[in-house]
C-alpha cells in the first residue's frame, strides 16, 4: 500500500484541527444566550436616617436589578425614562467591542434619554469577559442611586473559575447617601463653583448600618437585641455556614470616596479586580476606589457562635480633610435552632473590625501595588512596542466664574479640574460619537488634546499651591486621535496645585495594563525600571496615588470615542476628563457599525 506523503498527513491533521476548533466555537455559540431586561427609571420614596427621601431608581429597587450573564452572551436592556431628569446608563467595564453606541456616557457616546417616557435599548456582547462589573447612570449625580451589579460568569460548558469553586457568593455594593436630592447637590456645587456637600452616610447594598447615625444607631441597637426583623430593615445581613468559602463581589458605587472594607475576624483572598483575574492575594483589608470592583474569597472560619460586622470606611487621601464615615453590615453564622448555647452567644455584641486610620495612604498604596495579573492561556499580554507616549497631568485648579454661576465668588473664581491644563467641556448639540461617525467634528470637538502639559513644573511639591499662575485652566472639548491598533502608554501624573489626593481614573472601552505606580514626580529614566511587563494587573479604573503617578498601557483596537475621566463625581462636572477618538480598522470586522434606529438625538 502506498503511504501518504508527510505533507499530506500534516494537511489532514491541520484540517481536522480546524474542524475541531469550529466545532468548539459552534458549541460555545450554541450555549450563548440573549439576556434581556427592561429598566423603568423613576421616582422611589425610601426611608433612611429617620426620614422619607425621594430618589431616582430602577424598577422600584435600590440598588437596582442585578444583571447576570455568561461570557459570550448578548445583553439587551430596554430603558424607559419615567424620571424628571435626562438619563443615560453606562455599563462600567464592558468593553463594547464595535458597540460604542451602547457605552452610555452622556454627550460622549449618546445624547440623553429624555424624561417623561424617553426610551433607548442598549445592546452589547460580553464575549471575552468574566467577573464582577456594574452599571450606573452617567448623567449628573444620578448614579448615587441609579446603579446595580453586572455579573459575567464563565462560558458553558467549561463554566469554571481559575480558583477553587466557592460554596456561595454575595454581592456587596458600597455607596453614599444624602438626605436631599443629589441633583440639587450637584446644581448647588456648580452654582457656587465650590465642591459638593459631603454625603451624610455610607451604605452597604443600599442600607445604612451602624455608624451612619440616626437609623444606623437604631440598626445597631436592634442587632444587639437580636431583633432580626428590625435590624434587617436598616442593615444588610449575610448568613454563612461554618467552614465554607464564599466569593464576595465587592463594588464601590460611592460618588466621591475610596473605601476600606473589612470583616471582623475574617480575611480575604483577592482573585480578581475590575473583572480581570489576579494572582491570589491574601489580606485582611480591601481598598477600593469609586468605579472599581474586587472579587475576594472569604472562608467562614471564625467562631460560629458570634456575630461579626463587615465595615466600610472612608479612605481620605486629601491632606487636612476631616470628613470620615463608617457603616456596617452583619455577618452571622447559620446555627442549629436547637442549640441554645449558640443562640446565647449570638446575642452578644457583634465584633467590629479594627479599621485603618481614615487617612492611611500607606495601607491603600500597599494594597493597590500588590495585585498582579493571573497568567493563563488566552489571556492578553502586555504590548512591548509603544507607538504613542503621553504624560497627562491632572488635578484641581481655578477658572473665572461663568455667568450662570450666580453664587460663585468672583474674586476667588470657580473650582476647575483639568487634564494637561484643559478643563473638559461636554458638548451640547451633538454627542462626540455621533460627530465622529458623521465625520463632522467642527463645532463639537477638536483633535488637539496635548500629549504633554503646556508647562513642566514640580507637579507634587507643596510649594506648587502658592504659584497662582499654575492654577488657571483653559476650557475645551479636545480629543486625542489614535490609529486603529495603535499602542498607547499614558503616564497619569497627579498634581498638588490645589492639594494632592488619590484620583481613580476610568477609561471607557478598554482594559489597560497598570505597569507601575509611585509617589512624587514620574521620572522616565528611573521609574521605567519598575515596570511590570510580565504579569501586571489589568484594570479599567486605576487609583493614582496621592501626590504620585501611575503608568497604563493599552492597544487602541476598539473604534469609537472613549472618555477617560476621574471617577470622583465631584471632579467630572468641573472638567477632569479627556477623550480618545479611535479610527476604524482596515477590515470590515474593525469598522464601527452605524447607530441603532432608536439612538437618542439631542
One domain for residues 326 and 234? yes
One domain for residues 427 and 561? yes
- Residue 525 inside a domain? The answer is yes
Question: pLDDT-derived band of residue 2, with 50, 70 and 90 as boundaries?
Answer: very low
Q: Residue 468 above 90 pLDDT?
A: no
**Model's pTM, two decimal places?**
0.92
One domain for residues 262 and 123? no
Last residue of a domain, one of 122, 153, 184: 153
One domain for residues 436 and 495? yes
Cα dihedral 301, 306, 312, 314 sign: negative
Query: What whole-number distance in Å separates Cα of residue 213 and Cα of residue 49?
Result: 7
Query: What whole-number distance in Å separates Cα of residue 249 and Cα of residue 309?
Result: 17
For 214-219, the CB contacts below 8 A with 24+ separation are 214/48, 214/49, 214/50, 215/47, 215/48, 215/49, 215/50, 216/49, 216/327
One domain for residues 253 and 116? no
Q: Which residue reads 463554566 in cell numbers?
A: 159
What's the average model confidence in pLDDT over 391-401?
A: 93
Question: pLDDT-derived band of residue 249, with 50, 70 and 90 as boundaries?
Answer: very high
Between residues 117 and 26, the one the model is more confident about: 117
Question: pLDDT-derived band of residue 11, with 50, 70 and 90 as boundaries?
Answer: very low
- Residue 163 inside a domain? The answer is no
What's the average model confidence in pLDDT over 463-485?
A: 84
- Residue 12 inside a domain? The answer is no
pLDDT (tens digit, 9 = 90+) per residue, 290-347? 999 999 999 999 999 999 999 999 998 776 777 889 999 999 999 865 555 555 555 5
- Residue 400 inside a domain? The answer is yes
Last residue of a domain, one of 321, 342, 370: 370
**CATH value at residue 353:** 2.60.40.420
Q: Which of 175-189, 344-358, 372-386 shows the lowest mean pLDDT across its residues? A: 344-358
Question: pLDDT-derived band of residue 6, with 50, 70 and 90 as boundaries?
Answer: very low
Between residues 525 and 581, the one the model is more confident about: 581
Query: What whole-number distance in Å separates Cα of residue 294 and Cα of residue 275?
Result: 8
- Residue 128 inside a domain? The answer is yes
Cβ neighbours of residue 339 closer than 8 Å, sequence gap 6 or more: none
Concatenating the DSSP letter of every residue in 294-351 gives EEEEEE--S-TTS-EEEEEEEE--STT-----EEEEEEEE---TT-HHHHHHHTSPPB
- Averaged pLDDT score across all residues of the chain: 90
Q: Tell me if 537 sits within 8 A of 276, measured CB to CB.
A: yes
One domain for residues 272 and 319? yes
Estimate to the nearest angstrom the gap between the alpha carbon of 276 and the chain centroid.
Answer: 13
Burial class of residue 26, CB neighbours in 10 A (0-12, 13-18, 19+):
exposed
What's the average model confidence in pLDDT over 158-163?
A: 86
What's the average model confidence in pLDDT over 94-105?
A: 98
One domain for residues 357 and 498? no
pLDDT (tens digit, 9 = 90+) per residue, 478-513? 999 999 999 999 999 999 887 778 899 999 999 999
Q: Which of 185-199, 222-236, 446-460, 575-589 shows the lowest mean pLDDT across its residues? A: 222-236
Provide the pLDDT for residue 224: 45
Provide the pLDDT for residue 321: 75
Q: Residue 356 above 70 pLDDT?
A: yes
Question: pLDDT-derived band of residue 196, with 50, 70 and 90 as boundaries?
Answer: very high
One domain for residues 172 and 149? no
What's the average model confidence in pLDDT over 247-258?
A: 98
R_g (Cα) of the chain, nearest Å: 25
One domain for residues 359 and 300? yes
Burial class of residue 9, CB neighbours in 10 A (0-12, 13-18, 19+):
exposed
- Residue 5 inside a domain? The answer is no
SS3 category, 89: strand
Number of domains in the chain: 3
Concatenating the DSSP letter of every residue in 394-458 gives EEEEEEPPPTT-TT--TTT-EEEEEETTEEE---SSS-HHHHHHHT--TTT-BS---SS-SS---
Q: Which of 6-20, 228-242, 494-508 shows the lowest mean pLDDT across its residues? A: 6-20
Q: The domain containing residue 459 runs over which residues?
A: 388-590
Provide the pLDDT for residue 214: 40
Percentage with pLDDT > 90 across the chain:
78
One domain for residues 361 and 311? yes
What's the average model confidence in pLDDT over 77-100?
A: 98
Query: What whole-number distance in Å separates Cα of residue 445 and Cα of residue 419?
Result: 16
- Residue 597 inside a domain? The answer is no
One domain for residues 398 and 547? yes
Question: pLDDT-derived band of residue 16, with 50, 70 and 90 as boundaries?
Answer: very low
One domain for residues 429 and 576? yes
Q: Residue 414 above 50 pLDDT?
A: yes
Provide the pLDDT for residue 341: 56
- Residue 510 inside a domain? The answer is yes
Nearest Cα residue to 191 out of 408, 378, 386, 20: 408
What are residue 493's phi and psi, to 5 degrees?
Answer: -110, 115
pLDDT (tens digit, 9 = 90+) per residue, 549-591? 999 999 999 999 999 999 999 999 999 999 999 999 999 999 9
Amino acid at each position: 500500500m502506498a503511504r501518504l506523503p508527510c505533507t499530506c498527513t500534516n494537511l489532514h491533521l491541520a484540517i481536522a484541527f480546524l474542524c475541531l476548533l469550529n466545532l468548539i466555537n459552534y458549541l460555545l455559540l450554541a450555549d450563548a444566550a440573549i439576556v434581556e431586561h427592561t429598566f423603568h427609571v423613576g421616582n422611589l420614596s425610601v426611608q433612611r436616617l429617620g426620614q422619607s427621601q425621594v430618589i431616582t431608581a430602577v424598577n422600584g429597587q435600590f440598588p437596582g436589578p442585578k444583571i447576570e450573564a455568561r461570557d459570550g452572551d448578548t445583553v439587551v436592556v430596554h430603558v424607559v425614562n419615567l424620571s424628571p431628569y435626562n438619563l443615560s446608563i453606562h455599563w462600567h467595564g464592558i468593553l463594547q467591542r464595535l458597540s460604542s453606541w451602547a457605552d452610555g456616557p452622556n454627550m460622549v457616546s449618546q445624547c440623553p434619554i429624555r424624561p417623561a417616557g424617553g426610551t433607548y435599548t442598549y445592546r452589547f456582547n460580553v464575549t471575552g469577559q468574566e467577573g464582577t462589573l456594574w452599571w450606573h447612570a452617567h448623567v449628573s449625580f444620578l448614579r448615587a442611586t441609579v446603579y446595580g451589579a453586572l455579573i459575567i460568569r464563565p462560558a458553558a460548558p467549561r463554566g469554571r473559575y481559575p480558583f477553587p469553586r466557592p460554596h456561595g457568593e454575595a454581592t456587596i455594593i458600597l455607596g453614599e447617601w444624602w438626605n436631599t436630592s443629589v441633583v440639587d447637590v450637584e446644581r448647588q456645587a456648580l452654582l457656587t463653583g465650590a465642591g459638593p456637600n459631603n454625603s451624610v452616610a455610607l451604605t452597604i447594598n443600599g442600607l445604612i448600618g451602624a455608624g451612619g447615625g440616626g437609623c444606623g444607631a437604631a440598626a445597631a441597637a436592634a442587632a444587639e437585641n437580636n431583633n432580626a426583623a428590625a435590624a434587617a430593615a436598616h442593615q444588610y445581613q449575610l448568613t454563612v455556614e461554618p467552614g465554607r468559602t464564599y466569593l464576595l463581589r465587592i463594588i464601590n458605587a460611592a460618588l466621591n470616596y475610596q473605601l476600606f472594607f473589612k470583616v471582623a475576624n475574617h480575611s480575604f483572598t483577592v482573585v480578581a479586580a475590575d473583572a480581570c483575574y489576579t494572582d491570589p492575594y491574601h489580606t485582611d483589608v480591601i481598598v477600593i476606589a469609586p468605579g472599581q470592583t474586587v472579587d475576594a474569597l472569604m472562608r467562614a472560619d471564625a467562631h460560629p457562635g458570634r456575630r461579626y460586622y463587615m465595615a466600610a470606611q472612608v479612605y481620605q487621601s486629601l491632606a487636612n480633610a476631616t470628613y470620615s464615615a463608617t457603616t456596617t453590615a452583619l455577618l452571622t453564622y447559620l446555627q442549629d435552632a436547637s442549640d441554645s448555647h449558640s443562640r446565647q452567644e449570638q446575642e452578644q455584641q457583634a465584633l467590629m473590625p479594627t479599621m485603618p486610620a481614615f487617612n492611611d495612604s500607606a495601607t491603600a498604596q500597599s494594597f493597590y501595588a500588590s495585585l498582579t495579573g493571573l497568567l493563563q492561556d488566552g489571556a492578553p499580554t502586555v504590548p512591548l512596542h509603544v507607538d504613542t507616549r503621553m504624560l497627562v497631568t491632572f488635578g484641581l485648579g481655578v477658572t473665572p466664574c461663568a455667568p450662570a454661576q450666580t453664587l460663585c465668588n468672583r474674586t476667588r473664581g470657580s473650582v476647575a479640574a483639568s487634564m494637561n491644563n484643559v478643563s473638559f467641556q461636554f458638548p451640547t448639540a451633538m454627542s462626540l460619537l455621533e460627530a465622529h461617525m458623521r465625520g463632522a467634528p467642527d463645532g463639537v470637538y477638536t483633535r488637539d488634546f496635548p500629549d504633554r502639559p503646556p508647562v513642566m513644573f514640580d507637579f507634587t511639591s507643596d510649594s506648587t499651591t502658592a504659584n497662582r499662575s499654575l492654577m488657571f485652566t483653559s476650557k475645551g472639548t479636545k480629543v486625542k486621535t489614535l490609529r486603529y491598533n495603535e499602542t498607547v502608554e499614558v503616564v497619569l501624573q497627579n498634581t498638588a496645585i490645589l492639594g494632592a489626593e488619590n484620583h481613580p481614573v476610568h477609561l471607557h472601552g478598554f482594559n489597560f495594563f497598570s505597569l507601575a505606580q509611585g509617589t512624587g514626580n514620574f521620572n522616565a529614566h528611573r521609574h521605567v525600571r519598575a515596570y511590570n511587563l510580565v504579569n501586571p494587573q489589568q484594570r479599567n479604573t486605576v487609583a493614582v496615588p496621592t501626590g504620585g503617578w501611575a503608568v497604563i498601557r493599552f492597544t487602541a483596537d476598539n473604534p469609537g470615542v472613549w472618555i477617560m475621566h476621574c471617577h470622583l463625581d465631584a471632579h467630572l462636572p468641573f472638567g477632569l476628563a479627556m477623550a480618545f477618538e479611535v479610527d476604524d480598522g482596515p477590515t470590515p470586522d474593525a469598522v464601527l457599525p452605524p447607530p441603532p434606529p432608536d439612538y437618542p438625538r439631542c
